Structure 1
């Protein structure tokens, strides 16, 4: 009895200490356990349990034929909700959910063979739900006193947290690699003083061409870059530890095998990579291929230069005719000139005003063509007639410069479909260009023939030729083959741009050829050939004035000088003219003396010309009058607005007097 009442540690010294599990084993009811009471445990088991209880490493022992389960304090966390009921139970019952995974290892241990597993995945149910776990552990056989394997011993570490952390790191690394690979910018990592490629992304390979780079030194991987300064920059960054930033730096690289070097432009950063000791161990390369942006910027700068040059040319070209106009006007103001002098001054003013009108018309033509606002009237045309009309227009300039013009027109039919006025403009522009840029007494050849289904119209000269760098841009706006301070040839550099635009509108194309400065040039226009004979169109009848006497004309313009001079011209042609300078005065005049024709400016100070036209149309006295918009607004939309306002005709300032008299003559018939 004394022994029964004694404390367990007195007769079970191997259970002394052992923390919580030691205390539980001392107080545990072992009647239902396959292990029996600890008093009956063999010495080998007692020794193993004593070692286990006093270890801080998670451990368990499975002993006997049914593998009764014993464990220490550190193993409690692994058991989860299975503690404390797992104590003394069968190993199989404790870990039934993973038995199929661990049973082969248990069998090996019981056969005397130890095993070691690292990060073995096990799906456990220890907190009321299934969870994926990973363990590092060893199973070792435990022998009894006679050397027979009577159980097994396990020391283990749960690796679940570490495995999940590693998985997260791997996923993050994969995500970063994906981001690295798919990044729109160029990225590369270079290692060591030889700058060996460790990583490159897709954009980097697109820049330099798809080739094997990783593991190669940069000088070996990109030999064509030698001499461009990049290798030297890498050496400097590696040696000094100072980053380098480059903007729009040109790089000539062979992007395809056997292809010539291609120039690209890159923004980039060479950022040194430091190791744990602060020493440079590599270079991180990051940047962007900015070739497209650089080319756009260059084009914009070139366009801006062309704009500035054009504005300078425009100022020069407008001042040239203004100078003689101003001088002639001042001479006329003095009133001391005789009749021949007055005639000369008047001729100068008229001629220079016509030149200014031509300049403005060129500008308006370019504006309309480039904005797609030119309407082509298509009809079947004979190229001989177009060439003849163009030669007639340019003949005065040809004769003035003493040029010899040869026309070589192929026999047979040369028909095209298009707008007669615009095609005459095309041919006259290239003829005019040849006349201007050929020294006096030069030879110009105009030819027309059929070539590969097109009508080929060409103008060849023996003039100054075209500098090769200018040739690809000769049909661009504001381009001239020579830009000299004296501007001896004049013009705004618009003629050839119009030629190209109008040719394209007719389904054609243009070419320019020259072997260089001083070797002449040739401009060629190709237009689709029209095989079928054109139908006879209605004859144009010239309107002849049958007398202007008695026709009343109202001129309305807030520009007093312009109104008075136009009125004087009309009076000299026999018309009865009334001049007003604003809308209210015009309405009052129309009520007092209703006109047959009203010439109205649009930009009036009180009532704009469109509203004035509507009011005149609404008045019984002027409802049948012919209304003509005479304005500086000459675009197609301006013509349409005038038509909707009630105007019969629209004429751009300065008015062509012949056309105006033709209109008035039709009313006087």
Structure 2
């Protein structure tokens, strides 16, 4: 059989070579089985290598010559493979020996390193087929060669990226697990399963097969619902019993869970991706914050009780003192047989009734912290305070009212506003003692925000050292030299009526206290 092909250099090399010194002799005398295989190879576009005889002489076609990364020429054909391609022979000789023994084989990925800088390694898939001679003996091995470099490099890249993703998932501060199939088999987990589940689950194990803890059953129900419904399931503050073998002791974890269905290319659900965030510390911190807040509220109640006691002690002093003065006057009038005792007793009765109203309003203030406001006349409230001052023996303080026509009323609780005026005016009277001008001027005007500012100025000694930063604190000294309880209560009352208060020394002498309250028409 003539071995020839017009477009194959290797076929031409066989025809033009001198085979007289070879064991095969002239090609015309070659075995028909060899000639037929060579003709088939030269007519194939697929890379093929034929290793013939016990010394594995190499025959190859044009496609193989172009494929192999080693330097080959057509003139190399017919030489021993071990001499021609020693690196390749080191990789394939065991498979060739097996094929010479009659056993075909397949090598899925053969890597041949490149000797050139900048040139990537090559990967091949090799299929070894025994070639039988005329007397049923294997005379050679046909090696079909497939270049899988692109596929292998892609697999390597994907494997590297998967490794990077696995490392990334392992380092993220939350738990990720993939469950697949109706039985929810654990396929992937980025942390020890015992950190999430009440027992150690193995990859590939059905999650529902050996559920022990109640929390596991609840988790399984969430996963199952996500799988069967195809809808994402959420759970916040999920209490989970942790595997005691993970930490050495039984404990609970608190998690926020997301169970996300995973779909394939046909949009069918084939698994559930579980993401779990450990919020145990946040939950414990919230419990501690709630405990501290409860303690703060308890302390606030104690403080409110103290405020109420101080308020009652301070505010009741005025009407009780006034009632006592009225009763004393009535007794003197009765002893003399003079008229007017009934009128004094009526005044005393009014002051005692005022005591009841003060107690009720003080209790309401402490309980809710906000007063029940209504439209109150500034003039009437200040005059009521003046009357109490006079009833307690303070007669020498001149009170001057200068109210703006558009600022005559405010939103306030009536008795509390009277108490505010009483406290400030009494403080002004004490501050003005032994001063040349014993007067307090009460003014009012509108300010921004539809509010009314009330200013009360005296001409006394002013506040000591010009330091008014803690003037309204409990037991802060007042301008009159007392304990300053009245001003502390004044701020409490103003705050309860949603107002503000501040104090300063007037540039021309004395002190001035400014109060801002809502105008009555603000909420109309």
Question: TM-score, normalised to structure 1's length?
Answer: 0.44
1:244 Cα shift? 1.0
Task: Render the CA deviation track for 1:454-482: whole Å, top value 9, x for unaligned.
Answer: xxxxxxxxxxxxxxxxxxxxxxxxxxxxx
Q: Could you tell me which residue of structure 1 aligns to residue 409 of structure 2?
A: none
Secondary structure at the counterpart of residue 268 of structure 1: strand
Find out whether 1:191 has 2:177 as its counterpart. no
1:227 Cα shift? 10
1:332 Cα shift? 7.2
Q: Could you tell me which residue of structure 2 aligns to residue 78 of structure 1?
A: 67
Are residues 21 and 128 of structure 1, via their aligned partners in 2, closer, same or farther at CA, if it must alter by over 3 Å? Answer: farther
1:50 Cα shift? 0.4
Structure 1 residue corresponding to 2:234, chosen from 242, 245, 249: 245
Q: Could you tell me which residue of structure 1 aligns to residue 274 of structure 2?
A: 285
1:24 Cα shift? 4.4
Contact conserved, 2:50 with 2:143, CA < 8 A, in 1?
A: yes
Are residues 253 and 70 of structure 1, via their aligned partners in 2, closer, same or farther at CA, if it must alter by over 3 Å? Answer: same
Q: Could you tell me which residue of structure 1 aligns to residue 467 of structure 2?
A: 603
Secondary structure at the counterpart of residue 73 of structure 2: coil
Structure 1 residue corresponding to 2:85, chosen from 95, 107, 132: 95
Are residues 268 and 564 of structure 1, via their aligned partners in 2, closer, same or farther at CA, if it must alter by over 3 Å? Answer: same
Task: Render the CA deviation track for 1:593-637: whole Å, top value 9, x for unaligned.
Answer: xxxxx9933436xxx9xxxxxxxxxxxxxxxxxxxxxx64999xx
Q: Could you tell me which residue of structure 1 aligns to residue 457 of structure 2?
A: none
1:135 Cα shift? 3.6
Are residues 32 and 245 of structure 1, via their aligned partners in 2, closer, same or farther at CA, if it must alter by over 3 Å? Answer: farther
Calculate the aligned-residue CA RMSD, in Å.
5.4
Task: Render the CA deviation track for 1:177-217: whole Å, top value 9, x for unaligned.
Answer: 44444432122333344434444442652233453455555
Contact conserved, 2:260 with 2:274, CA < 8 A, in 1?
A: yes
Are residues 127 and 78 of structure 1, via their aligned partners in 2, closer, same or farther at CA, if it must alter by over 3 Å? Answer: farther
Structure 2 residue corresponding to 1:116, chosen from 105, 126, 147: 105
Task: Render the CA deviation track for 1:549-601: whole Å, top value 9, x for unaligned.
Answer: xxxxxxxxxx8964762674xx7xxxx9999x9xxxxxxxxxxxxxxxx9933
Alignment of 1:447-462 (within 5 A): none
Secondary structure at the counterpart of residue 223 of structure 1: coil
Contact conserved, 1:184 with 1:203, CA < 8 A, in 2?
A: no
Secondary structure at the counterpart of residue 231 of structure 2: coil
1:285 Cα shift? 1.5
Q: Could you tell me which residue of structure 2 aligns to residue 613 of structure 1?
A: none
Structure 1 residue corresponding to 2:430, chosen from 565, 572, 582: 565
CA distance in 2, matches of 1:63, 1:224: 68
Are residues 220 and 45 of structure 1, via their aligned partners in 2, closer, same or farther at CA, if it must alter by over 3 Å? Answer: closer
1:59 Cα shift? 0.6
Alignment of 1:617-632 (within 5 A): 632=471
Contact conserved, 2:131 with 2:139, CA < 8 A, in 1?
A: yes
CA distance in 2, matches of 1:245, 1:33: 82
Q: Could you tell me which residue of structure 2 aligns to residue 266 of structure 1?
A: 255
CA distance in 2, matches of 1:154, 1:228: 57
Higher relative contact order (Cα pairs below 8 Å, separated by 6+ residues): 2
CA distance in 2, matches of 1:156, 1:239: 48
CA distance in 1, matches of 2:20, 2:329: 145
Q: Could you tell me which residue of structure 1 aligns to residue 222 of structure 2?
A: 233
CA distance in 2, matches of 1:168, 1:198: 22
**For structure 2, which runs of at least 5 residues remain unmatched after alignment?**
331-347, 356-361, 370-423, 441-461, 484-524
Contact conserved, 2:197 with 2:216, CA < 8 A, in 1?
A: no
CA distance in 2, matches of 1:213, 1:31: 65
Alignment of 1:25-40 (within 5 A): 25=13, 38=27
Q: Could you tell me which residue of structure 2 aligns to residue 653 of structure 1?
A: 477
Q: Could you tell me which residue of structure 2 aligns to residue 256 of structure 1?
A: 244
Secondary structure at the counterpart of residue 69 of structure 2: helix
Secondary structure at the counterpart of residue 173 of structure 1: helix
CA distance in 2, matches of 1:488, 1:334: 24
CA distance in 2, matches of 1:88, 1:280: 57
Number of aligned residues:
379
Task: Render the CA deviation track for 1:414-470: whole Å, top value 9, x for unaligned.
Answer: xxxxxxxxxxxxxxxxxxxxxxxxxxxxxxxxxxxxxxxxxxxxxxxxxxxxxxxxx
Contact conserved, 1:122 with 1:134, CA < 8 A, in 2?
A: yes
Structure 1 residue corresponding to 2:307, chosen from 302, 315, 318: 318
Question: TM-score, normalised to structure 2's length?
Answer: 0.54
CA distance in 2, matches of 1:217, 1:96: 51
1:101 Cα shift? 3.6
Contact conserved, 1:207 with 1:289, CA < 8 A, in 2?
A: no
Secondary structure at the counterpart of residue 80 of structure 1: coil
CA distance in 1, matches of 2:220, 2:33: 72
Are residues 28 and 602 of structure 1, via their aligned partners in 2, closer, same or farther at CA, if it must alter by over 3 Å? Answer: farther
Q: Could you tell me which residue of structure 2 aligns to residue 69 of structure 1?
A: 58
1:27 Cα shift? 7.8
Contact conserved, 1:79 with 1:126, CA < 8 A, in 2?
A: no
CA distance in 1, matches of 2:250, 2:69: 68
CA distance in 2, matches of 1:286, 1:267: 8
Are residues 151 and 133 of structure 1, via their aligned partners in 2, closer, same or farther at CA, if it must alter by over 3 Å? Answer: same
Task: Render the CA deviation track for 1:110-169: whole Å, top value 9, x for unaligned.
Answer: x65455241364544575789654443244555666777665432222444444443444
Are residues 210 and 172 of structure 1, via their aligned partners in 2, closer, same or farther at CA, if it must alter by over 3 Å? Answer: farther
**For structure 1, which runs of at least 5 residues remain unmatched after alignment?**
1-11, 353-484, 493-558, 582-597, 609-630, 636-650, 660-669
Alignment of 1:40-439 (within 5 A): 41-63=30-52, 68-80=57-69, 82-85=71-74, 87-88=76-77, 90=79, 91-106=81-96, 113-119=102-108, 121-125=110-114, 132-140=121-129, 142=131, 151-202=140-191, 204-209=193-198, 211-212=200-201, 214=203, 216-225=205-214, 229-249=218-238, 251-253=239-241, 255-256=243-244, 262-275=251-264, 277-301=266-290, 303-304=292-293, 318=307, 321-322=310-311, 325-326=314-315, 328-329=317-318, 337=326
CA distance in 1, matches of 2:8, 2:329: 135
Secondary structure at the counterpart of residue 58 of structure 2: strand
1:67 Cα shift? 5.3
